[in-house]
Structure formats: structure tokens, C-alpha cells
Amino acid sequence: QNIHLVAKWLSSLEKKLEQHSEGSHQDFRVFISAEPAPSPESHIIPQGILENSIKITNEPPTGMQANLHKALDNFSQDTLEMCTQEKEFKSILFALCYFHAVVAERRRFGPQGWNRPYPFSTGDLTISVNVLHNYLEGSSKVPYDDLRYLVGEIMYGGHITDDWDRRLCKTYLEEFIKPEMLEGELLLAPGFPLPGNMDYNGYHQYVDAVLPAESPYLYGLHPNAELGFLTHSSEKLLRTVLELQPRDSSTGEGGVGTREDTVKTILEEMLEKLSEEFNMAELMARVGQRTPYAVVALQECERMNVLTGEMKRSLLELELGLKGELTMSSDMESLQNALFLDMVPESWLRRSYPSTASLGSWFADLLARISELETWTGDFSLPATVWLGGFFNPQSILTAIMQTTARKNKWPLDRMTLQCDVTKKSREDFGGPPREGAYVHGLFLEGARWDAQAGVLTDARLKELTPPMPVLFLKAVPGDKQDPRGVYACPVYKTRQRGPTYVWTFNLRTKDRPSKWVLAGVALLLQV
């Protein structure tokens, strides 16, 4: 619908309600239902209507049990009896209800649940069940592949915009909707088998009696996922409380003085520690042969100059403002607030790399990145182990590994892929780079851990949210030489926000089925 027309109609409704508020029948009532607005611009219900109405909100259920009951509530005993292949229809319908509850509730685990939030609705579930009914009526065999495709790629998949989320959705359906479901051998979650043939109330009772207590296991996730999500929520709450602190000078004697003193101290310390910008002309003259690695180093130095240049400019400007030699602008105010609240200022972040760190950690990390670049541009030879998280653009170094190998062996670049072998050593154990490829360090695993002895992925330990990985050996090989068996295609992200911070895919060896790690949301992170 056209939002402008709706807004126009609502204002005329408001006038009508005012007219009818006097002299109308005492039982006259108006009921309006509205969905949550997707953005602030869509908040178009006039204030007068909101103030004069009794508001009732329908909160979405929380937890697996409530979600599963709510999914079943869309159907009735009549629904269960409407299909000639009754046993198949009931089993798949219950599995779809569980699937619906899982994908809706997985949202609360943040980026480890879904890379992006999606508006899955009960309409997706009811249409999927209609499709199921039509397919079963038209076929004597259950078309498992077709059903999974329609539900996973169209009904629910139609909302999904991220490839890794699409893989997750597809994996759930492969686990829940398969021939074994009719043989009574299917577990929807640990300790929760797919129920047999029951009536409608029987299914509701089964959920109450058999579903295990709420835990990340019901979604295929590790309990750490909940710890991570709760920690993140409390950090967000405390950050908001901190930002709400009064900023004016009426905070009592000396209040504003201490605030300005704090900012001055931070500012001076930063200016003192920031080294000179890289002399690009001198580096270009010294580089000699422009190998793919040297090009990456030069690009990184250029980007670092842009960032540190802006930092120095804005800090010196603020210093003059605090001394009273310059009028404070709104940009200087925001910089002062950010420094005081230990947050990375907006103008720096725009020129920086994705990061969720506080200002203190971010600045320490920045200095480490600068010193890494200084070492590398000393003689432009590849470091013994490369800190993959230390790049503005980590893809560039990974591409450079492939370009170098392709040139050396005269292989076509578009047919090559990176092979990832996890070593048993840490960065201190390496004296120099490998003959071909590169050693990389500084990666963390989320959702699982690496068993260095067995050389495979294994279950995470409780409270170890992002265990560090040993050094990885990356080398380029022709694409057809990769053996896809016994590996989990693991996405690499720059931060725990995942989503748009995606970098590459590394294949990690696994004895378990890869689907286990897909459902657990296992990923490699370049910073935590």
C-alpha cells in the first residue's frame, strides 16, 4: 500500500473520531490493528489517535515451547485430516512447525543465529503446509527434494539475502525433512524425536511433555551462543546508560573540569603515540619489483595514512578548541564526547576497518597494525607469519597468494582456490615464510574449537567463546584438486557482527557431519 495515502487517510480518521466522540452511542468503539513499523519514517499514526486509545500489543512468543505451540495454533484437527497420505502429511507438518519455530527464535542469538534478521511470518508456514498438501495429493511418493526446495528457497528463502543464511535454512530442512522421518528415527533436537501419528491435541500435549528445557541445543547451537548473546546485550545496555550521563556543567563542582581534563589527557597521549605517516614516495622508490605482496603493502600504507591523517587533524583541532583558541564546532563536540565515553569517533570509523572494540582497545590495535606495516615495508619481504586481521582489506593478501602462485606456475587465476591447512604451531615457532603460499595467524573460532592433536573441528568448551586458532598454512591450488569430503566450508569474518564483514571461506577438516557446524553457526573471526 502507498504510505502517503494511508497517512492522509489517518488524519481524516482522526477528525472523524473527534466528531463522533460527542453524541455517539455509549458502546461505540473503533478497533485498529497495525503491524510494527519497519523504520522511523513509517511511524504515521497521528499522536491524537495514539493518546486517546487503549493500546494492546501482541508480543511474539519467546522460547521454543511457546513458538512451537504458536506454530501449531495455525492448524486444527480438520487440517490434520484433510490429506489422504495422513501419516506423511502429519509428520512433515509437525517438522515444518518445528522448523518455523527454530528459524523465528534463532534471531535472538544475534549474528551467530542469522547474519541478518528476517521477517519470517506465520504466512510462510501456512503456505508451506498448503504446498505440502497439494504435492502429497498429487503424488504417491513423498517428493522430499521438491518440498525442501520450495520451502527453503522460495517460501522462507524468499526473505533471505545472505548466502550463508540460505545454507543454514537449507541445512535445517535437510535435517528435518527426509525419508527417515517416517521410520520413527528422526531427532528434531537432542532428546526430542519427531512424534508419531497423533491427533491435534496430542501434538500440543507431546510438546509440553517431551520437549527438553529451553537451551541453545534446541537450535543446534552450543550453550556459549547464549553467553555471547547475553554478554552483548548487557554491554549494549551499559553503553546506553553511560551515554545518557549529563554532559552540561551543572554536574556539580569540578564536573566539567574533570571531563575536559580526561579528554585532554587522552588526546595528548594519542598524539604522542601516533607515529609519522608513511612516506609513500620514498617507499615507492625503494620497492623495486612490484610483486603482488608489495602492492598490498603499499595499498595498506596509503589507507593507514588516510586514517592517521584524519586522527591527527581532528585531535589537533580539538586541542585548540579546548584551549579556547578555536570555536568548538559540532564535529569537535562529537569527538570530545567519543573520547570521554571511550568510543571510536565516527569520522575515524568511516576511514577505518570494521571494529566493535572500545576506543582504548581500538587504538592499541591500530598501533600494532602500524608496527606490522613498518616491519613489512622495511625490506618488503613477506613476514614469517602474516597477521590476517591486521589488514584494512584482508582479501587483498589472500588474492596476492593466489596471484603469486599463478604467475610462478603459469596457472589461470580464475580456476584456482586457496587450500587451508591448520598447523600445530603458534606464530613464535616460525622463522620465515613458506616457499609457496603464506602462514597466517590471529584467527579465532566461534561456535566450536580446534582439536590440534586430531587436526579436526570439535565441540567448544563452555565459557570459551572464541578460542584462538593455531597458525594456518594457506596455499593456492587448482580448483579441481580440492577434496570436498570431510571438510566444513567455514566463513571468515572480520568481526563478530559477521554479515557484511565476510572475507573468505576456509575449508576446515571435520569428523562430524558438516551440517552440525552449519547449525552451530561456526565461523572464523579476525578480531574479537
Q: What is the CATH number of the domain that holds 459?
A: 3.10.490.20
Please report the pLDDT score of residue 320 as a whole number. 93
Look at residue 246 and tell me if it is in a domain.
no
Interatomic CA distance for residues 185 and 195, integer angstroms: 10
CATH number at residue 332: 1.20.1270.280
Greater confidence, 99 or 248? 99
Look at residue 345 and tell me if it is in a domain.
yes
| DSSP-derived pairing of the beta strands 456-458 and 523-525 | unpaired
Instruction: Note whether 356 and 498 are same-domain residues.
Output: no
Span of 132-136, 286-290, 355-359 with lowest mean pLDDT: 286-290
Instruction: Note whether 267 and 185 are same-domain residues.
Output: no
Is the pLDDT confidence value at 272 over 90?
A: yes
- Domain encompassing residue 42: 3-52
Of 198, 223, 248, the residue that ends a domain is 223
Express each pLDDT in 25-61 by its tens digit.
888 888 888 877 767 777 788 888 888 888 888 777 7
Look at residue 251 and tell me if it is in a domain.
no
C-alpha cell at 439: 602462514
Look at residue 229 and tell me if it is in a domain.
no
Instruction: Note whether 12 and 99 are same-domain residues.
Output: no
Contact status, residue 95 vs residue 194, Cβ threshold 8 Å: yes
Q: Which helix (H) or strand (E) holds 493?
A: strand 487-493
Please report the pLDDT score of residue 248 as a whole number. 57
Span of 146-150, 258-262, 358-362 with lowest mean pLDDT: 258-262
Look at residue 238 and tell me if it is in a domain.
no
89 contacts: CB under 8 Å, gap ≥ 6: 80, 82, 83, 132, 133, 136
Percent residues over pLDDT 70 in the chain? 97
Upper half-sphere CA count for residue 518 (Cβ side, 13 Å):
19
Please report the pLDDT score of residue 2 as a whole number. 63
CA distances from 259 to 246, 315, 335 (A): 11, 16, 13
Instruction: Note whether 312 and 327 are same-domain residues.
Output: yes
Determine the residue type at 105.
Answer: E
Of 331, 360, 381, the residue that ends a domain is 381
Is the pLDDT confidence value at 252 over 50?
A: no
| Domains: count for the chain | 4
Range 340-367 average pLDDT: 93
Is the pLDDT confidence value at 250 over 70?
A: no
Please report the pLDDT score of residue 132 as a whole number. 95
Instruction: Note whether 278 and 363 are same-domain residues.
Output: yes
C-alpha cell at 257: 573540569
Look at residue 244 and tell me if it is in a domain.
no
Average model confidence (pLDDT) across the chain = 90
Percent residues over pLDDT 90 in the chain? 68
Instruction: Note whether 135 and 190 are same-domain residues.
Output: yes
Backbone Cα Rg of the chain:
29
Express each pLDDT in 79-115 by its tens digit.
999 999 999 999 999 999 999 999 999 998 999 999 9
Is the pLDDT confidence value at 251 over 50?
A: no
Please report the pLDDT score of residue 125 as a whole number. 96
Instruction: Note whether 74 and 216 are same-domain residues.
Output: yes
Express each pLDDT in 159-217 by its tens digit.
999 999 999 999 999 999 999 888 878 999 999 999 989 999 999 999 999 999 999 99
Look at residue 193 and tell me if it is in a domain.
yes
Q: Is 244 exposed, middle or buried (0-12, 13-18, 19+ CB in 10 A)?
A: exposed
CATH number at residue 148: 1.10.8.720
Question: DSSP readout, 207-257?
Answer: HHHHSPPS-GGGGT--THHHHHHHHHHHHHHHHHHHHTS--STTSSTTHHH
| Size of the chain in residues | 528
Instruction: Note whether 365 and 428 are same-domain residues.
Output: no
Is the pLDDT confidence value at 249 over 50?
A: no
Instruction: Note whether 214 and 286 are same-domain residues.
Output: no
What angle in degrees, to the nearest 10, is found between the helix axes of 64-72 and 200-210?
Answer: 180
Of 207, 223, 239, the residue that ends a domain is 223
Instruction: Note whether 417 and 333 are same-domain residues.
Output: no
Greater confidence, 230 or 202? 202
In this structure, what are the phi and psi dihedrals at residue 432, rounded to the nearest 5 degrees? -160, 170
- Virtual torsion, Cα 280, 286, 288, 289, nearest 10 deg: -40
| DSSP-derived pairing of the beta strands 385-387 and 438-441 | parallel
Range 249-276 average pLDDT: 77
Is the pLDDT confidence value at 519 over 80?
A: yes
Is the pLDDT confidence value at 439 over 50?
A: yes
Please report the pLDDT score of residue 140 as a whole number. 86
Interatomic CA distance for residues 246 and 255, integer angstroms: 10
Instruction: Note whether 293 and 370 are same-domain residues.
Output: yes
16 contacts: CB under 8 Å, gap ≥ 6: none
Instruction: Note whether 432 and 472 are same-domain residues.
Output: yes
Express each pLDDT in 446-492 by its tens digit.
999 999 999 999 999 999 999 999 999 999 988 877 777 899 999 99
Look at residue 234 and tell me if it is in a domain.
no
Express each pLDDT in 297-324 by its tens digit.
999 999 999 999 999 999 999 999 988 8
Q: Is 174 exposed, middle or buried (0-12, 13-18, 19+ CB in 10 A)?
A: middle
Interatomic CA distance for residues 301 and 287, integer angstroms: 13
Is the pLDDT confidence value at 254 over 70?
A: no
